[in-house]
Amino acid sequence: MRELPVVELVDRAREGQPRAVARLISLVEAASPSSRSVAAALAPFTGRALVIGLTGSPGVGKSTTTSALVGAYRALGRKVGVLAVDPSSPFSGGALLGDRVRMGEHAGDPGVFIRSMATRGHLGGLAVATPQALRVLDAAGFDVVLVETVGVGQSEVDIMRLADCAVVLVAPGMGDGIQAAKAGILEIADVFVVNKADRDGAETTVRELRHAISLGRREIRGASWRQPVVPAVAPRGEGISALVEAIDEHHAWGLAHGGFERRRLARARAEISAIAVAAVRVRIERFQGELLDRLAAEVGAGTVDPYRAADDLIGASGESAPPQG
Ligand SMILES: Nc1nc2c(ncn2[C@@H]2O[C@H](COP(=O)(O)OP(=O)(O)O)[C@@H](O)[C@H]2O)c(=O)[nH]1
Ligand SMILES: [Mg+2]
């Protein structure tokens, strides 16, 4: 494709041209110099999509559930975007191919856009790229954006915090329910799915989770959201309408109690600081190499302490630097 100006790409994306959507995501993903103008051009059209994050251990059924949700939302007439974020497999290998195959039933549906995030060489990585890709899909008019991430690590937790609704999947056995509670997953989950409910032990897992939830209930302004636990058999579509309902209820609850608004502000805050941190890193790596070398020599020689050196490097005043004690 001839390289179009960013505003033209944004116009085309908003008209529903998938190639323009894909191109814009590539631009923000690569942290290309035009990321800035992409973000500026998108800004007026963002804020409408409902972002749903799905996380859980590999093999728990995230892709299958995502695909089933795409079908459910399409049946409701909503346009659906999917971002598959998997930092553990930056090269498009088997897992992504599997996802493509599973998503095959939605291929050719103009109301569905599916994309795997690549993060190779991206300064700031997923923390910067994912929210920008969400903005592209949001501005392009996708009513619902599903973000599939591999659970466990901090960056996945960060990504789940970007979502309006965080869905955590567990499967029976494997102590997954208890694992989830331990790993602090309980804190980020808005809705639980016990997938593979066709397997032994599903009822136990549901019970364990409900018990853990009753102990760790969250309170927001005196109202509490009790995370629902939805049993599902994703390949058969079982439990998917209950999941859609649970997501709807969470959305309505968030709108009524301010949780939705707070989440959106937290997302914007995370987005800004991820960009700022990446910018500082770029500045240091590209433009302050000599200063860094000199400071390193001084710290090595013991003539300057590393906090002081870091202050010099970022040009910060002593007050805004971390405590030196
Ligand atoms: N028995 C059973 N298998 C399932 C269920 N959901 C997914 N699977 C299978 O589990 C495997 C992993 O599913 P996938 O959606 O790729 O998991 P992901 O790694 O979390 O995205 C696939 O072979 C699915 O067909 C379920 O509810 N029951
Ligand atoms: Mg998957």
**197's tokens:** 């409910």
Q: Find the 259 Cα to ligand 1 centroid distance in Å.
A: 31
Tell me the mean pLDDT in the region 211-219: 70
- Residue spans of the domains in the chain: they are 46-257, 269-320
Q: Nearest-CA neighbor of 25 among 138, 194, 159? A: 138
Contact 179, 116 (CB under 8 A): no
B/e letters for 86-99, b = 16+ CB within 10 Å, e = fewer, are: bbeeeeeeebbeeb
State the average pLDDT over residues 8-18.
94
- The reply to whether ligand 1 has any atom less than 6 angstroms from the CB of 71 is no
| Residue 238 pLDDT > 90 | yes
pLDDT tens column, 254-290: 999 999 999 999 889 988 988 888 888 888 888 788 8
pLDDT at res. 93: 40
Judge if the beta carbon of residue 155 lies within 6 A of ligand 1.
Answer: no
More confident residue, 44 or 183: 44
Of 73, 64, 47, nearest in space to 144 by CA: 73
Angle at the Cα of 247 (from 242 to 251), degrees rounded to 5? 145
pLDDT digits (tens, 9 = 90+) for 25-53: 989 887 777 888 999 999 999 999 999 99
The CATH number corresponding to 46-257 among 3.40.50.300, 3.40.30.10, 3.40.50.2300, 3.10.620.30 equals: 3.40.50.300
pLDDT at 91: 41
Tell me what pLDDT residue 10 has: 96
Write the CB contacts of 126 (distance below 8 Å, at least 6 apart in sequence).
Answer: 85, 87, 117, 119, 155, 158, 159
Alpha-carbon span 50 to 165, nearest angstrom: 8
Question: When comparing pLDDT for 184 and 296, which is higher?
Answer: 296
User: How many angstroms does the Cα of residue 95 sit away from the middle of ligand 2?
Assistant: 7
| Cβ atoms of residues 250 and 165 within 8 Å | yes
Per-residue pLDDT reduced to its tens digit, 89-125: 444 444 444 555 566 677 778 899 988 876 554 555 6
Q: Write down the pLDDT at residue 319.
A: 43
195 lines ligand 1 (CB under 6 A): yes
Does ligand 1 come within 6 angstroms of the Cβ of 233?
A: yes
